[in-house]
Amino acid sequence: MSGSVRPRFGAGLRRFFYNRLAVVGLGILIAIAAVSLLAPILPLAHPNITDLAMRIMPPGTEGHVLGTDQLGRDILSRLIWGTRISLAVGLSATAIAAIIGSLIGIVSAFYGGVIDNTLMRGIDMLMAFPYILLALAIVAVLGPGLFNALIAISVVNIPFFARNVRGATVSLVRLEYIDAARLSGKNNFKILFGELLPNVMPVIVITISTTVGWMILETAGLSFLGLGAQPPTPDLGSMLGDGRSVILTAPHVATLPGLVILVLVIGINLVGDGLRDVLDPYLRAGALVSPRPATEVDAKLLARKRAEKADDRRAGESEDGNRKTGAPGGAQSDGGDSGQPDGDAQSDGDGSGHSDGGAPHISELPLSVRNLRTWFWQRDAQIHAADDVSFDLPKGRALGIMGESGSGKSVTALSVLGLVPTPPGRIMDGSVAYYGEELVGAPLEKLRFYRGNRIAYIFQNPMTSLNPLFSVGEQIAEAVRRHQPVTGEEARAKAGELMDMVQIPDARRRINDYPHQLSGGMRQRIGIAIALANDPDVIIADEPTTALDVTIQAQILRLLEDLRERYGVSLVFISHDFGVVSAVCERIVVMYAGEIVESGSVEEIYRRPLHPYTRRLMACVPKVGSRGAEMDAIPGLPPALDRLPAGCRFADRCDMAIEACTSAPVPLEEHANGSPFGAREVRCIRAKEVTV
Amino acid sequence: MSEPVLSIRGVRKYFSERRRLFGSTPPPIQAVQNINLDLYSGDSLGVVGESGCGKSTLARTIVGIIPPTSGEIVYRGSDIASLKGRERREIYKHIQFVFQDPTSSLNPRKTVREILSAPMIELLGLDKREAERRAQALMDKVNMRPEFLDRHPHEFSGGQAQRIGIARALATNPEVLILDEPVSALDVSIQAQILQLLKSLKSDLGLTYLFISHDLAVVDNLCDRVAVMYLGSVMEEGSAHRIFDNPRHPYTNVLLASIPHPDQHETTSIRLSGDLPNPADPPPGCPFQPRCYRATAQCSQSKPALIDYGSGHKAACFYADAPEPPPAAPLESQAVAETADVSG
Ligand SMILES: Nc1ncnc2c1ncn2[C@@H]1O[C@H](COP(=O)(O)OP(=O)(O)O)[C@@H](O)[C@H]1O
Ligand code: SF4
Ligand code: SF4
Ligand SMILES: [Mg+2]
C-alpha cells in the first residue's frame, strides 16, 4: 500500500507497545501458539496411548514431566495437543461468527427497511435465550462432537457481531462519502465491501478481541460437559472433565488444563485490551483520562504568582494599599457583589493615552487579560494555541475577537475561567483579572464561584451545551440555583422571567419543552438565558450566531445588543465574520495563528486595516454587489501551531514580506492612540507604510 | 434562447416519517414543492435560502442520490429522474456533485489516488494506469501537488480536502456540476481560494454550475442567475443584478437587509420576526405570509404564482409589481406573537 498508511499503522503499533500488559499478553499468546503449532514435531508421547500400568503418576515422573491421567496418558502431550484443538475450535468459531455476524450487521445497516427489520428480529430472537442454553440446545439437536460444538458456539456468538457491526455501520451509511462513491459509479457490492467494510473493520476487530476468549471458554465448557471433543481426543475442556473424577486423589489432572485455560484467556484479554486502546477512537481521544476541573497552570508561573502575591501582601501591610498592581492581595471574599471598588480612578504614570480620559485602573475592569499564553502539550508537539494575548474590557462595553478557525479565539475565551481541557491544555504565562482579582492559578472554588455567575459563556452550538434529557426551563432554573440560594419554585419563576427577557415567545408554554423541540434560534436564546441567570458582569459569546441563518442571526445580535444596553453587561464577542463583530462591538482584536495581529475600533479597522492579513482578509470576503469581481485570495494556509516560524507568523502568505520579517518575532506595537478602551495596535514591521 | 441543458420540471420531494406505533401516520415533510428551474449551458445558477428551505434536497434529487416524489429532471431532452443501474451511471458521467463537508465526503480509508480513480475506472472504464495519469492531471487542475495522490483525506486541511472533492467531481469531464454549499464549511480566506478555483475551472472547462449556498454575497460573486427559495418553493428568480439590486419579493428584501455590514450599524435591527414554519405543516396561502411585513388577508387565502415581470425576473408575491423594502425594525410584539413551531 501507499507510504502514508505506514506512519499511521506504525503509530498504532507504538501505542500498542506502550501498553506493557498487552505486550505480556502477546508474549503469552505467541508462546502458546508456537508450542501448539509445533506439537507434531515436538518429542512428545502420543497423547492417546493409554498405559494402565502408569496410571495417575504425579508430575516429575520419569518420562512424564507433568505426570499421567487415570488412563496412563502423558498429560504434557495431551495438554499441548488439547490446547491445539481448543484453540483451533475457538478461533474457527470466532472466524465463523465474525464473518456471518458482521455480514448480517453491515447488510442490515446498509439496506435498512425490510431487510434490516427481518435480519435484526432474527438476531433478537437468538439473543432472547441465555446463550449457554442455546448452545446446549443446538448440540442436543445436532448431537455431540467437536464440529457441532463449533457450530453451536458460532451461532451463539453471531448476534454480538451483528449488533456491534450494525451499530457502527448505521452511522457510516449516512456519511457523504457513501453518496460520493455511488456518484463515482460504484455499485452496492463495491460500496459495501470497498467503502464500508474497511471503516467498520476496527469495530469487528474489537468485537473479536472481546469474544474470542469467551468462545474458547465456551468450547471448553461444552467439552467439559461431554458435548464437545469425544474421547480419546484431548481438548482442554474434556481434560478438565476427565480430571474431575480424581480431583481429590490426583488434583493435578484437572488443575493443569484449568491453568492452561486461565493463562490462555488472560493472554487473549490482555492483547484484546491493548488492541482496543489502539483502535477505539473514543478511547484514543483520551476519554479515559478524566479532564481536570480547571486548566492546569504551569508550575513555574504558579510559583511566580504565589511569590508575587506574598510580596503584595507584605507590601500592602507596610504601605497600606498597593495601588500599582491593583489586585486586592489574596482576598477573595468580595467576589459576590461584583467586587468593584468605588471608583477613585487614577491614571497611572505610564498611561498610554486613551480616549475615555485616562486608562481605567485594572481594578475597575470586569475583565483584563495580560500576555496570556495557553499551549496544548501533546506527546510529540507543543501547540501554541494562544500566545501573548492581551485585552481590556471596561464595564458595559463590547469587545470583538475576530479570526479564522484555529487562530486561538476559543482557547483565549476558555482560558479566562480555566475551561481549556487539561490534558493537553496548560496556561503557560500571563494573567486574567476580574476587577483586579487574579483568575490564573486561582483555587478551584474561586473559579467555580465565577463560572456562570460573574462571567458567563454562550457557545456556538447550544445543542451540545444543553442536556437533551431535561426541559429547558429546568436547565435555566438549575443555572439559577447553582449560584443563588433560592427555592425550586423561585428558580422556576426566574427561569420564566429569563425566557421572557431573551424574547422567547409564549415562554410559559416553552418552559417545559426539551431542547430538541426548539429551533436553532430558540435554543440559542435558551443558551443566552442560562448565561444571564445570575446577572453576570461579563458574557463571553463564542461564535453564538455562526450556526444560525442570517435572519435569525440578526435577531440574536439585536438581543445581545439590547441586553448590553439595558443591563450594562460587558461582552466579549467572538466571530470569524467582521460584519457580525462590527454589528455588536466597538473594539476589535484580530487574531492570526494564536496571536493578536491588530486591534482598534471597528471603524478604524474597517476603514484602514493596518496589518496585511486583516487587509487581505477583508478584501477576500465577497460582498453583495461585488458581482463577479475577481477575488484576491490569500495564498496558502496558516502555519501549523506546533511548528511556528521564528519571525512573523503571516510571512509566508504576505505579499509585503521582507527579510527582516522572518528573522525575529514581530512585537505588537502601539500605532496610534484614541481608540475606544485600548490603543490602536498592530504586529507588523511595515505597518507604518500603510497609507490609505 | 437555446434549449436548457438541465430542466427541473415540477419537482416535489416529500419525506414521510415512519408510522408511529399507535396513532396516525404523521404528515410528510414537504421539503421541495413544485420547483421549476432551467439551467443553460455555461450558466451558473445560484440557489439561495436559509437552512431547511430545501436547497440540499433539491440538489440531491437532481443528481439522483434521492428520487423525487414527482416531477421530471430533464437532461438534454430526456427525463433522468427515475433512472437506475447502468443508465443512472451513464448520467453520472455528465452531471456531478460537490458536497458541503469536504471531510465527510472523502472516505478516510482511501488514498486520494483511489478516490480520484474510482469514477474513471467505474464510469469511463479506464484501466488503472490511464486513471493514474489522469488523476495527476486532475490534481494539477485543482492546484494540488501530484505527490498528494498517496495521502489520505485526514492529512488535508478543509480547503485542500474540498479541492479533492472538486477534482473527484471533475474526473469524468462532466458538463454540469451541482455544488451543495461547497464553501460554507471553509474559513473566509480559504473560501476565497475555492471560489477563485471554481471560477477559473468554469471558464477553462466550459462547465455549467448549479451552486447552492445560504450566503448571498458568495452567490452574487459567482453566479449570473439566482433563485431564492423559501420553505420548499422558489420565491424569486432572475439575473443576479436584478435580484440583488432590485429585489421584488419581500423575503429577498429581508434576506438582504439581514446581512450585517460594518457600514450600517443599524442592520442589527430585526428585519424578520419568528422562525421558519414547520415544513410538515406549511402555512396556508403564501409560504412567507406568517413572517411577511407586507402580508394582507389575501396572502393567507391563496398562494401567489411565480410570475415573470420581464427579462426573466420572476417573483411569487401578490405585490411584486410594486416592491417595498422592509421597515427598519418590525414591531417587537410581532416577534413574540408570530413565531411558529419548529420541531426536530
Ligand atoms: N483539546 C485540544 N487539544 C489539542 N489542541 C487543541 C485543543 N483545542 C484546541 N486546540 C488547538 O488550538 C488551536 C486554537 O484553537 P481555537 O482556540 O479553538 O481556535 P478558534 O476558536 O480561533 O477557531 C488550534 O490549532 C486547535 O487545533
Ligand atoms: S511583518 Fe512582514 S511578513 Fe509580517 S505582516 Fe508585516 S510585512 Fe507581512
Ligand atoms: S404574497 Fe403576501 S405574504 Fe407572500 S410575500 Fe407577497 S406580500 Fe408577503
Ligand atoms: Mg472557536
What does the H/E/C string look like for A275-330? HHHHHCHHHHCCCCCCCCCCCEECHHHHHHHHHHHHHHHHHHHHHCCCCCCCCCCC
Cα angle B273, B274, B278 (rounded to 5 degrees) comes to 145
Chain B nearest C-alpha distance from A199 (Å): 7
**Contacting residues of B for A3, CB less than 8 Å apart:** 150
For residue B266, the chain A residue with the least C-alpha distance is: A583
pLDDT number for residue B35: 94
Evaluate: CB of B7 within 6 angstroms of ligand 3. no
**Which DSSP string corresponds to A329-381?**
TT--GGGTTTTPPP------TT----TTTSPPPGGG-SEEEEEEEEEEEETTE
User: Across the interface, do B269 and A558 touch by the CB < 8 Å criterion?
Assistant: yes
**Contacting residues of A for B273, CB less than 8 Å apart:** 555
Helix or strand or coil: residue A590? Answer: strand
pLDDT number for residue A346: 39
pLDDT (tens digit, 9 = 90+) per residue, A427-460? 999 999 999 999 998 899 999 999 989 999 998 8
Nearest to B271 among A554, A577, A634 (CB): A554
| CA gap B331, B271 in Å, rounded | 10
- Ligand 2 pocket, CB under 6 A: A 611-612, 648, 650-651, 654, 656-657, 661, 666, 684-686
Chain A nearest C-alpha distance from B10 (Å): 24
Average pLDDT, 10 consecutive residues per value, chain A (692 residues): 45 78 92 91 84 82 84 89 91 95 95 91 88 86 90 92 94 91 93 93 90 89 87 87 85 90 91 83 57 86 85 66 39 38 38 50 90 90 93 94 92 93 90 93 90 91 84 94 91 92 85 88 91 93 88 87 89 93 93 96 92 92 84 88 93 93 93 80 90 58
Measured from the CA of B320, which atom of ligand 3 is nearest? 6
Q: Which of A551, A553, A557, A650 to mutate to test binding with chain B, by most B CBs within 10 Å of its CB?
A: A551
Using 50, 70 and 90 to split pLDDT, how confident is the model at B25? confident
> Is residue A152 within 8 Å of A221, Cβ to Cβ?
no
Q: Which of A588, A667, A612 is nearest to A409 (CA)?
A: A588
Evaluate: CB of B294 within 6 angstroms of ligand 3. yes
- The grid coordinates of residue A259 equal 491453568
Q: Which of A176, A284, A472, A623 to mutate to test binding with chain B, by most B CBs within 10 Å of its CB?
A: A176
| CA gap A478, A527 in Å, rounded | 13
Amino acid residing at A249: T
Amino acid residing at A577: D
A133 contacts: CB under 8 Å, gap ≥ 6: none
| CA gap A517, A504 in Å, rounded | 13
Q: How far is CA A500 from CA A244, A509, A518, A532, in A?
A: 76, 11, 15, 12
Nearest to B260 among A195, A579, A616 (CB): A579
Q: Which of B211, B204, B252 is nearest to B229 (CA)?
A: B252
Of A154-163, A328-337, B137-146, B174-183, minimum mean pLDDT range = A328-337
User: Across the interface, do A621 and B217 touch by the CB < 8 Å criterion?
Assistant: yes
User: Across the interface, do A551 and B258 touch by the CB < 8 Å criterion?
Assistant: yes
User: Across the interface, do B268 and A558 touch by the CB < 8 Å criterion?
Assistant: yes
| CA gap B61, B31 in Å, rounded | 11
| CA gap A398, B268 in Å, rounded | 15
**Contacting residues of A for B339, CB less than 8 Å apart:** 505-506, 522
**Contacting residues of B for A505, CB less than 8 Å apart:** 274, 335-339
> Is residue A357 within 8 Å of A351, Cβ to Cβ?
no
Evaluate: CB of B288 within 6 angstroms of ligand 3. yes
Q: Which of A328, A385, A402 is nearest to A361 (CA)?
A: A328
B84 contacts: CB under 8 Å, gap ≥ 6: none
pLDDT number for residue B194: 93
User: Across the interface, do B97 and A553 touch by the CB < 8 Å criterion?
Assistant: no
Nearest to B275 among A182, A198, A522 (CB): A522
| CA gap B195, B219 in Å, rounded | 10
Residue B14: which H helix or E strand, with range? strand B6-15
Q: Which of A228, A306, A267, A288 is nearest to A29 (CA)?
A: A267
Cα A562 from chain centroid (whole Å): 35
**Contacting residues of B for A622, CB less than 8 Å apart:** 192, 195, 215, 217-218, 220-221
Amino acid residing at B126: L
- The grid coordinates of residue A125 equal 430472537
> Is residue B208 within 8 Å of B42, Cβ to Cβ?
yes
B279-308 burial code (b ≥16 CB/10 A, e <16): bbebbebbbbbbbbbbbeeebeeebbebee
How high is the ipTM of this complex?
A: 0.88
pLDDT number for residue A322: 41
Alpha carbons within 13 angstroms on the beta-carbon side of residue A78 total 32
| CA gap A266, A157 in Å, rounded | 20
User: Across the interface, do A199 and B107 touch by the CB < 8 Å criterion?
Assistant: yes
First to last CA, chain B: 43
pLDDT (tens digit, 9 = 90+) per residue, B200-214? 999 999 999 999 999
Of A372, A389, A404, A410, the residue with max ligand 1 atoms within 8 A of its CB, to mutate for a pocket test, comes to A410
Bridge partners, residue A592, by sequence: A595
User: Across the interface, do A606 and B262 touch by the CB < 8 Å criterion?
Assistant: yes
Evaluate: CB of A409 within 6 angstroms of ligand 1. yes
pLDDT number for residue A284: 56
Of A525-539, B265-279, B289-303, minimum mean pLDDT range = B265-279
Nearest to B217 among A4, A580, A622 (CB): A622
User: Across the interface, do A576 and B107 touch by the CB < 8 Å criterion?
Assistant: no
For a pLDDT cut of 90, what percent of chain B falls above it?
69
- The grid coordinates of residue A2 equal 501507499
Number of helices and strands in chain B (H, E): 10, 12
Say how many CB pairs under 8 Å bridge A and B.
221
